[in-house]
Amino acid sequence: MSTMYSYVLLLLLLFLAPTLQKNRDFYTFKVINIRGKLVSLEKYRGTVTLVVNVASQCGYTDGHYKALQKLQRDLGPYHFNVLGFPCNQFGHQEPNSEREIDSFVKKSYGVTFPLFSKIAVTGTGANAAFKYLTESFGTEPDWNFWKYLVGPDGKVVNAWGPTVSVEEVKPHVVDLVRKLILKRKEEL
């Protein structure tokens, strides 16, 4: 009887797997925030999101954090959010603890956008949400400050490496936010 049950279960999984896969998007994942609490990314559904793997000791740190905070201040939090994911995979440029990272970015850059726990963004140990981003866009981060633009539906719209400034990305973000606002007005 248990063999038959296993067989039926396997068949169900084979039929349901493609359906479950189709319904997956960035906002279906759960992550740990910088303070150690589990957060469902579902809370960001319906907004435009710029997901960035950040580092405190990178040559791109100063320019990116300043510009990301300005973008958050100018566009967020009702229609837009920057989500920062510290990562120590590239040049070991994020060696600090979550508490130290949080303190550093608040004191140095006045960061108000959400930060999450330090994660791996590439390889076999990569965080599942980042795996989704890289698989969706087809490009894996190869350094700090990769930026993934995620639409209100949780689908990846675009991605840029660290040599592309936040200022260059901003028109893409603004366009998506504008479309979101217009869509919401039409629904009223």
Active-site choice (58, 129, 150, 176): 58
Closest by Cα among 138, 33, 126 to 81:
33
Those residues whose C-beta lies under 8 Å from the C-beta of residue 34, and which sit 6 or more positions away, are: 86, 98, 101, 102, 115, 116, 117
Which CATH number among 3.90.76.10, 2.60.120.10, 3.40.50.10710, 3.40.30.10 corresponds to the domain 26-187?
3.40.30.10
Can you give the pLDDT at residue 77? 84
Active site residue 58: yes
Closest by Cα among 104, 113, 115 to 70:
113
Give the tokens for residue 147. Answer: 């930026």
Using one digit for the tens of pLDDT, what is the confidence trace for 156-180? 999 999 999 999 999 999 999 999 9
pTM of the model: 0.87
Using one digit for the tens of pLDDT, what is the confidence trace for 16-48? 444 344 569 999 999 999 999 999 999 999 999
Using one digit for the tens of pLDDT, what is the confidence trace for 114-167? 999 999 999 989 999 999 999 999 999 999 999 999 999 999 999 999 999 999
Three-state DSSP class for residue 69? helix
Can you give the pLDDT at residue 76? 82
